């Protein structure tokens, strides 16, 4: 009965408001779910625990979901976890299927969200016990597995892998982060830049530089031609039908499961979820050559995985007191502000709060779906806004996003410009952006887990002998690499014929 | 990092920051060599035969965007310094930047299009500044 | 659409705002203060504590105080750039411990900034073992090291997390000279990583906190995740000030069993080592002394009123206001004591 007294109209209003604000944050390039939660955290103090959580969880679900809108319509990932959504979502928009792509993405998001919520509700403690079987070694192998995606995403295997490793290399610039276990020493930094590059380049400014600013520079170079709106985009196109999901059941299930699972592992990083899911879908697909050209299955994989993350990341938070990603790291603040401990006893000690959170997540997912489906017609029109109006606004929002991601560091704004130029040049000389950014995202984690594994065990053989999980991961890595090579071979053949 | 035997390594924490960058640099070197070997000839041909500067690019819009952006980024913190912690550096610089960029991108600069660009340059930063800086109390330059 | 109308109204009233001077009057504080903190996390103790103090200050002085979690290196840079009093900083003992441990980016704060006042203590710094570990107490740990057994302690290098480790090593050196080399660090990062090292059997002792690890100590011994407190570094009188309920299912009296004198990690054979993680202000060296005094006085009045203490205690912080000058002298003495510990184990 206590639960019913919490489920007031206020509670539902807050979830709804949170979800809507979250979607808006997620949909604006440069603004993220993490930022939405951080900004609203102080408000929760006066709201009380359950109502505060209702708002924050709404923001979380909305923020992660909103990222698909600019990814699909503008080729700019609204949040890091929607990078792989751009790969097929934007080509669909260019083929005049923007609205359809959005609907596919939203439906997949809903399914991924609900899947992970069910996993959270039913198996949280068991999943947490499984997650702690992943030591440095298994985590390194997971990252390695995710890195093999670089190959799957490359149009030319060699150049793609080179771009990916370049991404890793650039991600290592700056100090070997003490707060992750490093020794705090600088590397790869020229002496004159030490003042600025102490913490290296931040992910978000790099991301929006590569995808946002670079795109605008390329358009500027071409003189902003083709009328005044985005290149040949039509609204409408093929109608969306639920039948698109026929035959996608395995994809949805696998991608949601991957998303949930990556969320459960603290320290692996949320973006790895959609990257892994996307590449697995491509590897298992009968028509891998269609990916990157507007294949709905790619959008489905990416979006169901990144919403699968939402429930997954709450598992270690609520059963170990450890956040699964950057957004849940801020959620911890909401609990401590209210004097509530999160740890292995949380669910048992606070059954009402726990149920309220599950209901908030459920409502947030449903509200997200309804709001976005209704808003789609209007959202999709963003592509008809003249470029000379749209692009300056996007640039301004990118600046805001870059500046605010670390709570006000001007160098992050310059990072945006540096990587905007880099993205432009990369485009010119044929470097591949998708593997580059994946390398950049996963590089620091790969380093920590690799070096720490050797530091603890002092032998390379440990990567093979640590556990059955390590063995299984090696099998997956081998399969992933083999698939990529065979796909590349096939492609070479058809090109040569 | 020192190798005790083919598989065994000892890692010195104080120098452990160089291990991974070194490995990645070696791999990058190998990959780069491989690219040179497989495609070196075509790459060399492009460099020697192709024009040094790509033809047909819109110099005014491309460099205009870059120059305006650099001015915008430089001006923001300086202007913001006059009004510390108010986000006004962002607000006051965004208006001219948006207007200049919108005008630069325009092909037909009619009264109407300029008016739209001007209105947008006023309204968009105002909304963003008001919501983020005033309502949400987010730090802006 | 109300939002739009409001912003139009704001734009209209904007001219007036630009015209209004930044400073109400010369010796007064700026109307918009940015409080940077040495942590990047908005879910952590530094942010939480700074938010409490910032809110109280803003109310008291009728100004805006905005907390920005920019992290230590950016916070120091921002503070160094601004001597007008529009940027101030809150951080904890890490600010000088980083310097003592020689971490890049940490200068001597007593030379480069105005230090103090202090505002609060986080008394939770703790060391734990696995519940089924053969070592059940700090005594066991020290005895094991003395007997030649390697004791691996998971810490984050270069600061608050390492100081207890250094103290332990020093205590072993004092009581069993030569055996201190058996206390070895496992350098790692977050609390998650430290816990994980214990679950994996890669660390015998981990650094943790009452707040983050208390629930793990309540688990059954057969649970892989079960832990046991063996040492709280806080002073006895610090914990004594906590609310009697303590944290979670561990009462204040139970917590006191893990502090000195019940657990002894000796400093020099006679006195026990203690460490309280204290939060304090840092100001630009050239900031107007009257402005600093204004903040100091405001804090004094806030603490005299007595409401902030309740808020802090509810979040397991121990209120600890010391005026600026007193705080600076106190922290400098504290720094010198720890320097002694770190030097002692460095010159083996």
- Give the global pTM: 0.92
State whether C66 and B88 contact (CB < 8 Å). no
B10, B78, B130, best to mutate vs chain C, most C CBs in 10 Å: B130
Q: Is residue B54 part of a domain?
A: no
> In terms of domains, do B38 and B77 share one?
no
Rounded Cα distance, A134 and A131, in Å: 6
> In terms of domains, do B112 and B64 share one?
yes
* pLDDT of the residue at A247: 81
> In terms of domains, do B20 and B72 share one?
no
Interface residue A187 vs chain B (CB under 8 A): yes
**Distant-in-sequence, close-in-space partners of A64: CB < 8 Å, separation ≥ 6:** A22, A26, A33, A79, A81, A109, A306, A307, A309, A310, A327
* DSSP for residue A482: H
Which residue of B122, B127, B139 is in closest CB contact with C4?
B127
> In terms of domains, do B31 and B75 share one?
no
CA end-to-end distance (rounded Å), chain A? 71
State whether A183 and B17 contact (CB < 8 Å). yes
3-state secondary structure chain B: CEECCCCEEECCHHHHHHHHHHHHHHHHHHHHHHHHHHHHHHHHHHHHHCCCCCCCCCHHHHHHHHHHHHHHHHHHHHHHHHCCCCCHHHHHHHHHHHHHHHHHHCCCCCHHHHHHHHHHHHHHHHHHHHHHHHHCCCCCC
C63: its two tokens:
């100004």
Residue A493 has a CB neighbour count (10 Å cut-off) of 9
Rounded Cα distance, A434 and A92, in Å: 17
Residue B21 has a CB neighbour count (10 Å cut-off) of 18
Which residue of B19, B34, B65 is in closest CB contact with A158?
B34
Largest CA distance in chain C: 77
| Count of domains for chain B | 2
Residue C11: band (very low, low, confident or very high) from pLDDT cuts 50, 70, 90: very low
Structural domain boundaries in chain A:
2-496
> Which range (A13-17, A278-282, C203-207, C239-243) has the least confidence?
A278-282
State whether B126 and C30 contact (CB < 8 Å). no
3-state secondary structure C112-155: HEEEEEEEEEECCEEEEEECCCCCCCHHHHHHHHHCCCCEEEEE
- Shortest distance, CA C45 to any CA of chain B (angstroms): 20
A15: its two tokens:
């979830």
State whether B85 and C66 contact (CB < 8 Å). yes
B18, B23, B24, best to mutate vs chain A, most A CBs in 10 Å: B24
Q: Which residue has 């734009």 as its token pair?
A: C11
B39, B85, B102, best to mutate vs chain A, most A CBs in 10 Å: B102
The pLDDT tens digits along chain A (497 residues) read 478 888 899 999 999 999 999 999 988 887 888 888 988 888 887 888 899 999 999 999 999 999 999 999 988 887 888 899 999 999 998 888 888 899 999 999 999 999 999 999 999 989 999 999 999 999 999 999 989 888 878 888 899 999 999 999 999 999 999 999 999 999 999 999 999 999 999 999 999 999 999 989 998 998 876 544 454 455 556 667 777 787 889 999 999 999 999 999 887 777 889 989 998 888 888 888 888 889 999 999 999 999 999 999 999 999 998 887 888 888 888 888 787 889 999 999 999 999 999 999 999 999 999 999 988 878 777 878 888 999 999 999 999 999 998 999 999 999 999 999 999 999 988 899 989 999 999 999 999 999 999 998 989 999 999 999 999 999 999 988 888 888 778 777 776 66
Which residue, among C219, C258, C18, has the nearest Cα to C138 in the 3D structure?
A: C258
Which residue, among C13, C74, C64, has the nearest Cα to C39 in the 3D structure?
A: C74
* CA angle B5–B11–B15, rounded 5-degree value: 135
Which residue, among C52, C56, C87, C51, has the nearest Cα to C67 in the 3D structure?
A: C51
The yes-or-no verdict on residue C138 having pLDDT over 80 is: yes
> In terms of domains, do B75 and B95 share one?
yes
**What residues are paired with C278 via a beta bridge?**
C121
Encode pLDDT of B86-102 as tens digits.
999 999 999 999 999 99
Report residue C153: phi and psi, to 5°. -115, 120
Residue C143 has a CB neighbour count (10 Å cut-off) of 16
> In terms of domains, do B122 and B81 share one?
yes
Question: Residue A65: is it exposed, middle or buried by C-beta count within 10 angstroms (0-12/13-18/19+)?
Answer: buried
* pLDDT of the residue at C23: 44
Rounded Cα distance, C265 and C139, in Å: 9
Encode pLDDT of B30-62 as tens digits.
999 999 999 888 888 877 776 667 777 888 999
State whether B84 and C87 contact (CB < 8 Å). yes
> How would you classify the pairing of strands C87-91 and C277-284?
antiparallel
* pLDDT of the residue at C15: 42
State whether B134 and C10 contact (CB < 8 Å). yes
Q: Is residue B97 part of a domain?
A: yes
Q: Which residue has 């939405």 as its token pair?
A: A36
The proportion of chain C whose per-residue pLDDT surpasses 70, expressed as a percent, equals 92
Q: How many CB pairs under 8 A join A and B?
A: 161
Residue C33 has a CB neighbour count (10 Å cut-off) of 23
Find the residue in B nearest to C12 (Cα).
B126
**Long-range pairs of B91-94 with CB within 8 A, sequence gap ≥ 24:** B91/B125, B91/B126, B91/B129, B91/B133, B91/B140, B93/B141, B94/A396, B94/B121, B94/B124, B94/B125, B94/B128, B94/B129
Sort out which chain A residues have CB atoms less than 8 A from C34's CB and list them. Answer: 408
**What residues are paired with C196 via a beta bridge?**
none
Rounded Cα distance, A361 and A142, in Å: 27
> In terms of domains, do B37 and B72 share one?
no
Encode pLDDT of C271-292 as tens digits.
999 999 999 999 999 999 999 9
The yes-or-no verdict on residue C52 having pLDDT over 60 is: yes
Q: Is residue B120 part of a domain?
A: yes
Please state whether B20 falls in left (phi above 0), alpha (psi between -120 and 50) or beta.
alpha
Q: Is residue B140 part of a domain?
A: no
Coil, helix or strand at residue C322: strand
> In terms of domains, do B43 and B67 share one?
no
> In terms of domains, do B65 and B127 share one?
yes
Q: How many CB pairs under 8 A join B and C?
A: 44
Q: Is the separation of the CB atoms in A497 and B48 below 8 Å?
A: no
Which residue of A132, A185, A323 is in closest CB contact with C199?
A132
Between the alpha carbon of residue A10 and those of residues A44, A50, B83, the distances in Å are 13, 10, 39
CA end-to-end distance (rounded Å), chain C? 71
Interface residue B13 vs chain C (CB under 8 A): yes
Which residue of A223, A410, A421 is in closest CB contact with B58?
A223
> How would you classify the pairing of strands C151-155 and C205-209?
parallel
**Distant-in-sequence, close-in-space partners of B18: CB < 8 Å, separation ≥ 6:** A187
Enumerate domains of chain C plus CATH numbers.
31-122+277-342 (3.40.190.150), 125-275 (3.40.190.10)
C86: its two tokens:
């529009």
Please provide the size of chain B in residues: 141
Note down the domain range covering B117: 59-135
Q: How many CB pairs under 8 A join A and C?
A: 136
**What residues are paired with C232 via a beta bridge?**
C126
* CA angle A347–A349–A355, rounded 5-degree value: 45
Of residues C211 and C11, more confidently modeled: C211
Query: Which chains would you list as touching C if contact means 3+ CB atom pairs under 8 Å?
Result: A, B
Q: Is the separation of the CB atoms in C126 and C208 below 8 Å?
A: yes
């Amino acid at each position: 009965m206590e639960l019913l007294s919490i489920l007031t109209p206020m509670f539902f209003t807050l979830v709804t408001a949170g979800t809507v604000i979250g979607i808006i944050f997620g949909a604006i390039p440069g603004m993220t779910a993490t930022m939405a939660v951080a900004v609203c955290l102080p408000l929760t103090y006066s709201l009380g625990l359950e109502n505060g959580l209702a708002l924050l969880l709404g923001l979380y679900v909305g923020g992660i979901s909103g990222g698909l809108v600019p990814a699909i319509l503008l080729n700019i990932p609204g949040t890091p976890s929607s990078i792989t959504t751009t790969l097929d979502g934007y080509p669909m928009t260019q083929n005049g299927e923007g609205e359809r792509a959005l609907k596919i993405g939203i439906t997949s998001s809903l399914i991924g969200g609900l899947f992970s919520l069910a996993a959270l509700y039913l198996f949280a403690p068991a999943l947490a016990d499984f997650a702690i079987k992943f030591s440095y070694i298994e985590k390194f192998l997971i990252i390695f597995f995710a890195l093999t995606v670089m190959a799957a995403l490359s149009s030319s295997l060699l150049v793609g892998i080179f771009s990916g490793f370049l991404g890793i290399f650039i991600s290592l610039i700056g100090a070997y982060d003490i707060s992750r276990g490093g020794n705090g020493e600088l590397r790869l930094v020229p002496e004159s830049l030490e003042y600025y590059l102490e913490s290296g380049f931040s992910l978000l400014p790099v991301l929006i530089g590569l995808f946002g600013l670079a795109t605008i520079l390329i358009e500027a170079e071409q003189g902003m031609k083709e009328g005044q709106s985005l290149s040949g985009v039509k609204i409408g196109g093929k109608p969306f039908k639920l039948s698109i999901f026929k035959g996608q059941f395995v994809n949805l299930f696998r991608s949601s499961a991957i998303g949930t699972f990556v969320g459960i592992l603290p320290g692996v990083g949320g973006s790895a979820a959609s990257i892994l899911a996307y590449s697995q879908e491509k590897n298992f697909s009968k028509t891998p050559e269609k990916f990157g050209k507007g294949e709905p299955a790619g959008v489905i994989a990416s979006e169901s995985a990144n919403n699968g993350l939402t429930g997954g990341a709450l598992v270690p938070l609520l059963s170990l007191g450890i956040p699964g990603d950057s957004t849940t790291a801020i959620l911890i603040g909401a609990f401590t502000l209210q004097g509530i401990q999160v740890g292995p006893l949380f669910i048992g000690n606070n059954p009402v709060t726990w149920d309220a959170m599950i209901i908030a997540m459920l409502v947030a997912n449903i509200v997200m779906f309804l709001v976005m489906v209704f808003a789609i017609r209007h959202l999709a029109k963003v592509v008809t806004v003249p470029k000379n109006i749209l692009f300056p606004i996007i640039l301004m929002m990118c600046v805001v996003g870059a500046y605010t991601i670390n709570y006000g560091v001007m160098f992050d704004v310059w990072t945006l410009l540096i990587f905007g130029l880099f993205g432009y040049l990369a485009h010119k000389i044929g470097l591949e952006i998708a593997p580059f950014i994946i390398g950049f995202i996963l590089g620091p984690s790969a380093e920590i887990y690799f070096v720490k594994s050797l530091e603890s065990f002092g032998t390379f053989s440990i990567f093979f002998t640590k556990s059955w999980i390590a063995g299984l991961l090696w099998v997956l890595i081998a399969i992933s690499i083999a698939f990529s090579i065979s796909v590349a071979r096939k492609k070479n053949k058809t090109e040569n014929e | 990092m020192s190798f005790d035997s083919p598989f065994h390594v000892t890692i010195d924490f104080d120098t452990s920051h160089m291990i991974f960058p070194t490995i990645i640099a070696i791999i990058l070197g190998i990959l780069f060599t491989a690219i040179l070997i497989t495609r070196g000839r075509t790459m060399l041909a492009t460099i020697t035969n192709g024009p040094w500067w790509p033809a047909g690019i819109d110099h005014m819009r491309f460099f205009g965007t870059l120059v305006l952006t650099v001015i915008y980024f430089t001006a923001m913190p300086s202007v913001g310094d006059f009004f510390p912690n108010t986000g006004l550096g962002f607000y006051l610089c965004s208006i001219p930047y948006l207007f200049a960029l919108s005008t630069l991108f325009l092909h037909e600069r009619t009264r109407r299009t300029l008016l739209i660009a001007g209105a947008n340059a006023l309204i968009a930063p105002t909304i963003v500044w008001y919501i983020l800086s005033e309502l949400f109390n987010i730090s802006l330059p | 659409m109300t939002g739009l109308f409001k912003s139009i109204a704001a734009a209209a009233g904007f001219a007036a705002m630009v015209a209004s001077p930044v400073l109400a009057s010369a010796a007064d504080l700026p109307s918009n203060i940015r409080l940077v903190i040495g942590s990047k996390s908005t879910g952590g103790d530094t942010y939480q504590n700074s938010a409490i103090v910032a809110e109280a200050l803003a109310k008291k002085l009728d100004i805006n105080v905005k907390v920005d979690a920019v992290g230590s290196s950016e916070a120091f840079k921002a503070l160094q750039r601004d001597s007008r009093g529009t940027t101030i900083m809150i951080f904890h003992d890490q600010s000088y411990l980083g310097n003592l441990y020689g971490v890049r980016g940490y200068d001597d704060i007593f030379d480069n900034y105005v230090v103090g006042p202090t505002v609060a203590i986080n008394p939770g710094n703790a060391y734990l073992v696995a519940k089924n570990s053969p070592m059940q107490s700090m005594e066991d740990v020290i005895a094991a090291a003395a007997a030649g057994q390697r004791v691996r302690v998971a810490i984050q290098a270069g600061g608050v997390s390492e100081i207890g480790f250094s103290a332990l090593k020093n205590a072993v050196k004092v009581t069993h000279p030569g055996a201190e080399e058996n206390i070895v660090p496992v350098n790692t990062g977050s609390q998650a990583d430290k816990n994980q090292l214990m679950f994996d059997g890669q660390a015998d002792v981990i650094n943790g906190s009452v707040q983050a690890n208390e629930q793990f100590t309540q688990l059954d011994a057969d649970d892989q995740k079960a832990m046991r407190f063996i040492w709280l570094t806080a002073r006895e009188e610090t914990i004594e000030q906590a609310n009697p309920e303590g944290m979670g299912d561990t009462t204040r009296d139970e917590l006191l069993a893990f502090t000195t004198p019940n657990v002894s990690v000796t400093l020099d054979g006679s006195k026990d080592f203690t460490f309280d993680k204290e939060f304090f202000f840092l100001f630009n060296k050239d900031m107007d002394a009257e402005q600093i005094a204004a903040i100091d006085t405001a804090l004094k009045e806030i603490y005299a009123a007595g409401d902030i203490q309740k808020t802090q205690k509810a979040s397991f912080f121990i209120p600890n206001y010391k005026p600026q000058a007193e705080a600076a002298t106190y922290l400098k003495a504290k720094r010198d004591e720890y320097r002694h510990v770190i030097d002692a184990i460095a010159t083996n």
